[in-house]
Amino acid sequence: MELQKISQVSKTLGISTRMLRYYEQNGLIKSMKKEGYPYRVYDQANLIRLQQVIILRKLQIPVKQICVILNNPDAATVVDIFKKSIQELDIEITALSTIKIILEKFAANLEAAVDLNLNLDFMHGDTVLELTRALPLIQKNVKENVTMSDLFQAADVLNKLENVRVVFVPPMTVASVFCTGENSEAKTWQLMTDFIITNNLIEIKPDLRVFKIEHQNATGNSFGDEVWVSIPDTLAVPPGFTIKKFLGGQYAAHVLDSNGFEVALGMQDWINESDKYQYDYDGNLQRCAPPINEINSFGGMHLDLCEVLNFNNFQKPGFEIQIDYLTPIKDYAAPAAIYEEIPGSQEKCGYKASLVTKNKFRIMGFTKIISGNTSVDEFIDELKKDGRLDILNKYRKPGAPILGFGSLDLDSQTRGGWRYSVCLAEEDTTDTEAFLRHNLYVKQIDTSRWLIFEYTRGDAFDGHSACPKLGYTWNGVISGSFSATPSGEIWRPDPNNKVEMNATVYGWYPVK
């Protein structure tokens, strides 16, 4: 029987590890500890039960009622629960009508069954899973007078990181070891563990601190692993180790569970929305001496630390690692506005380009999660047909661009796709208050530098390759880029129409 780690289950079924723990606390599922294995796992029976729980939650069945369903063999009781939910859904907004249809089918199937003993096996088949896959897990009852902006806010609340802390990590001397290649993480940890044991560091420095840095780019491709341990200034290190001065500094901290990528995205969202802090783009690699080398790859290198909080207990029976994810931040200070053309950009990368520094700014407009069964073109067609594109043009200032923003955030990641937003910058609206009444998606972007390229619709433009040609690295912390169309025509052009193909577009790419 195949056992799965919590992180595997979270990724496969698209549910957060926090929600898995919540279901376990309520007795709906149960994980187990495998002997000699540091992680908790689920067996096949609990995976099937979890699929049933997820489907019922997507159908807005409360957790207490799910307990009744899963522990009650009487089909009539379950049918009554489904019918009650159907009645409640009658007053829900149209956006949730799909849930009602599915519940009606479930209830009809159960009533038609000859055997009244309840069999829930039908709720873990591939067909039913696919049918409910697009339904979000919503934990509030949405009534008719609730707008789409309320739905976005509800989704954001469910996907926000909880208990982000701002901490100051003091300066310290560290011993560092770095490994690349296959199993680099395991090799690095083994070398560091042997070093700590050999030098009896836990005894001579009981306040030791252990940090891990994964050298990776914005897409998660790893280039090696580095581990630090704080040491006395006089301690010598063996070959393969180096001594560094960690300068410390201010960090945003959050407990790291089994899905580190979601925590990283959630931390980016938290920093974007903060009015007190910003990401330390320029100083992050300089927080140790010698500084960490930049990665010549998409997104560059981030000095985000993972600190093992209880390493001095690692030899005790039942030891489970507790880790904090630390993101370098600094106090928010509006930078001087910069807008300057880059001399020779046309010759270097083929396009005219300018460097722009922007303070934190908000975008507002309409958004959609793009996954395997949707496309940007289909979304834009929707905006044209239902009048939302006309709304954007109504509230934009003359000459201001309509922005297309392709991005990745925690909400889109947990829903198995990426986000595309058609929007305006807040400062480019004529009446922000009136505009906001149209149920908008609103997002704040962190302080950042942008390369703005000028090209036409007919150009095969690629900003990812153009930025390095001008000496800049893509800033992967701003996980997205803009296309700006001053004409307001965001739809795909007719390839036979030379006027449309020659229309100007500006590409905004975050850089450091």
- Parse the chain into domains and list their residue ranges: 4-140, 165-331, 338-511
- The answer to whether domain 165-331 and domain 338-511 are alike in fold is yes
CATH superfamily of 165-331: Regulatory factor, effector binding domain (3.20.80.10)
| CB-side neighbour CA atoms (13 Å) of 49 | 18
Chain mean position to CA 510: 17
**Tens of pLDDT along 315-349?**
677 777 888 999 999 999 887 778 899 999 999 99
Chain mean position to CA 462: 24
| Token pair belonging to 439 | 């149920």
Residues 6+ apart with CB under 8 A from 464: 298, 474, 509
| CB-side neighbour CA atoms (13 Å) of 59 | 29
The order of strands in the sheet holding 40-42 is 4-5, 40-42, 32-33
How would DSSP label each residue in 76-137?
HHHHHHHHHHHHHHTTB-GGGHHHHHHHHHHHHHHHH-S--B--GGGGGSHHHHHHHTTS--
Q: Using CA atoms, how far apart are residues 250 and 227, in angstroms rounded to an integer?
A: 20
Q: Using CA atoms, how far apart are residues 431 and 435, in angstroms rounded to an integer?
A: 6
Sign of CA dihedral 158, 159, 160, 163: positive
Domain 338-511 sits in CATH at 3.20.80.10
**Tens of pLDDT along 228-272?**
999 999 999 999 999 999 999 999 999 887 667 778 888 888 888
Place of tokens 């910058």: 425
DSSP helix/strand/coil, 507: strand
Q: Phi, psi at residue 22, to the nearest 5°?
A: -65, -45
| Domain 4-140 sits in CATH 3.20.20.60 | no
Could you tell me the pLDDT band of residue 149, with boundaries at 50, 70 and 90?
very low
For 93-116, what is the mean pLDDT? 54
Could you tell me the pLDDT band of residue 431, with boundaries at 50, 70 and 90?
very high
pLDDT at 121 over 70: no
Residues 6+ apart with CB under 8 A from 11: 259
Whole-number pLDDT of residue 435: 93
In percent, how much of the chain has pLDDT > 90?
29
pLDDT at 133 over 60: no
| Token pair belonging to 373 | 């069964």
Whole-number pLDDT of residue 158: 47
Place of tokens 């701003």: 478
For 99-116, what is the mean pLDDT? 58
pLDDT at 98 over 50: no
Burial class (CB in 10 A: 0-12, 13-18, 19+), 234: exposed
